[in-house]
Structure formats: structure tokens, C-alpha cells
Amino acid sequence: MRPHRPTAAFPEHIESLYARFPFDRSVADDPISVVRPLATDRRRAEIAGVFASTLSIGNTAAIRGAIGRLAESVEGDVGRLVDPRWADRRSERLRAFRHRWIRGEQLEYLAGRLTDYYREEASLETAFLRGLEARGFAGGIDRLARTLRGTEDRSRVPPRGYSALFPSPLEPAGSPAKRLTLFVRWMVRDRYPDLGCWRRVPTGELRIPLDQHVHWIAYHLGLTGRRARSWATVEEVSEALRRIDPIDPAKFDFVLCHTGISGDCPKEREIDVCGPCSVRPDCRLWRGRTVAA
Ligand code: SF4
């Protein structure tokens, strides 16, 4: 069977989806809505972003709740997550923290890693850029993952399961590294709703944070033929979007993701919902079909 591909008019269709998208409705449901008020300066934006993206597992309400509980543990100032004077209080308050399989002791270890890192460097952008320059975008994510894991620091043993929170796309499993890729999107893009506090990484370099919603719609629009979520799929989808907007390919991520989360896309052929969908002519489920007048 021939692989499914979007129509020649797909660039106009997806730009229309983007232009008409109700950002404010979906931002309220997104983890970024909890991150933005915590990002009172560039350092705090980065700290809030690292923790929030690490916690971005499961449904968005639970993620927003987890970020809120973490912020409460430092009384709303995420700068205290890397403040050694807060180490004892923070550790005590995080002891009972749970979000899915993430435990408070893992977040406490992450706080320690960041505290150590900020003694040497002003921003995680430096670590990302070193990896980017050496091995491209995947290299940047790999460098971030290794920095946060702290595998070069043999003086501390991380808690059980900690290192697995930061997979690298350069490892044999070829992880899509969705959460770190999302963190980098938040840091680099300066268009709403992202935070734009890293200035040295070009937006054209960004890759798509491939969650299940983005993967479903990317596959059904023919942006990839891969059924598995992997780094190879991330590259394929990102390249397809870069052909539409070479300067800012990741701008479509929020829209594709929340089209799925919001129920705007039912993930099956439903005429009442699919009828007004801008990308319906490109959708695999509607190939060769038309909507009756
Ligand atoms: S046509 Fe329907 S199933 Fe296809 S992407 Fe649009 S809303 Fe989703």
C-alpha cells in the first residue's frame, strides 16, 4: 500500500488550524499555565521548566496539580528549590510527594543537581549548546539529560529510578525524550505561550515534543509512517513541519497536542466534529471521502 501523505495544500490547512486555534482555552489546561506565574525571572523560568517538564507524565490536571504541590513546598518561590538554605525544609516537605512513579526523593536529588550546576554555570542553555554544537539537537538533549542525571558526579548515588527520568535520544533505545524536548521548547520559543528565556538557540533547530496526541495526529496526517514513538519519528515529524515553517517549526506542537487533549479531534471519523477540521482533507481517516452537503 502507498504510504499516506498529506495533500499539496497541507501547509495552508495547518496554518489555518494554527491561526484559528483557541490558545487561551487550551493554555489553561496545559502545564505551562502553572509554570508561567512561577517564571518571575530567567533563572526561575528555567527551574520551574525543568521540574514541570519532569513531572509532565499523565493527564494535564494531575500534572498541574503536581507542579502546584511542588511550588507550595517552597512557598511559591521556585528559586528556593536550588537554595542551600532551604535544603532541610524542602527535603522534609517533599518527603511524602508522589506523582505517578515520581517520588519526592527524586525531586530532592534533582534540586541538588541543579544547585551544584548553578554554582558553575548561569544557565542550562550552556550545557544544551555544548551538546548542540557537538552532535546537533539530539546532542543538546543528551547533554541536558547527562547534566541532570549527574552521572559524572560519583560522590552521590541517585535514588532508585532517578536516571530513567532523563532518557537520551542518543542511547540505543532512541527515546523521543518528550519531556526534555518540551522543556527546550518552553525555553527557546518566545511566542505565546512559551517563555523565551534562552536567546542563543535558533527556533528553527527545535524538534517536536512527541507525546501520544502529537504522534497520533502526525501519523494520521502522513507526517510520519512510523507507528512507534522514537527519536527517528521525532526527526521525521519535525522535518515535515520545518518544510512548512523553517523559522519556527515547533509552533505547531501546542496546536497538534491540544487538538487531541481538548477533544477537538475525536481520533475517529465523526462528521459533526471532523466537518470543520482544517486538516480533514489530509487526514488518513477521511482519505477518499467527502462530507455530504
Ligand atoms: S479530520 Fe477528524 S480525525 Fe482527522 S484530524 Fe481532523 S478532527 Fe481528527
Tell me the per-residue pLDDT of 14-49, one tens digit each, with 9 for 90 and over. Answer: 999 999 999 999 999 999 999 999 999 999 999 999
pLDDT > 70? residue 104: yes
Q: What is the largest CA-CA distance in the chain?
A: 69
Q: Give φ, ψ of 102 to 5 degrees.
A: -90, 130
The pLDDT of residue 157 is 87
- The Cα 205–Cα 197 span in angstroms is 16
Closest ligand 1 atom number to CA of residue 283: 4
Give 36 or 155, the one with higher predicted confidence. Answer: 36
Closest CA to 51 of 29, 34, 75, 28: 34
- Enter the pTM of the model: 0.96
Q: Cell 515547533 identifies what position?
A: 250
* 273 CB near ligand 1 (under 6 Å): yes
**Minimum mean pLDDT range among 144-153, 194-203, 242-251, 265-274:** 144-153
Ligand 1 in contact with 277 (CB < 6 A)? yes
Which letter does DSSP use for residue 3 in this model? P
- The CA distance from 274 to 164, in Å, is 38
Q: So what's the pLDDT on residue 22?
A: 96
- The DSSP symbol for 157 reads P
For residue 107, the model assigns a pLDDT of 97
Tell me the average pLDDT of the chain.
95
Give the bridge partners for 99, in sequence order.
Answer: 102
Q: Which grid coordinates belong to 260?
A: 487531541
- Identify the pLDDT of residue 219: 98
**What percent of the chain is modeled with pLDDT above 70?**
97
Q: Are the beta carbons of 30 and 21 closer than 8 angstroms? A: no
Distance (Å, whole) CA 123 – CA 46: 8
Pairing relationship of beta strands 102-103 and 98-99 according to DSSP bridges: antiparallel
The helix or strand, by DSSP H or E, that contains position 123, with its residue range, turns out to be: none
Q: Which three cell numbers stand for residue 115?
A: 544547585
Query: Nearest CA to 260 among 76, 54, 51, 21?
Result: 21
274 CB within 6 A, ligand 1:
yes
- Cα-to-centroid distance, 261 and ligand 1 (Å): 13
pLDDT at position 154 over 80:
no
Contact status, residue 19 vs residue 25, Cβ threshold 8 Å: no
Task: Kindly state if the Cβ of 213 falls inside 6 Å of ligand 1.
Answer: no
The residues, any chain, with a CB within 8 Å of residue 88's CB and separated by 6 or more, are none
Cα of 284 from ligand 1 centre, angstroms: 9
Residue 160, all three cell numbers: 532508585
Provide the pLDDT for residue 291: 65
Cell numbers describing residue 236: 521525521
Are the beta carbons of 184 and 132 closer than 8 angstroms? no
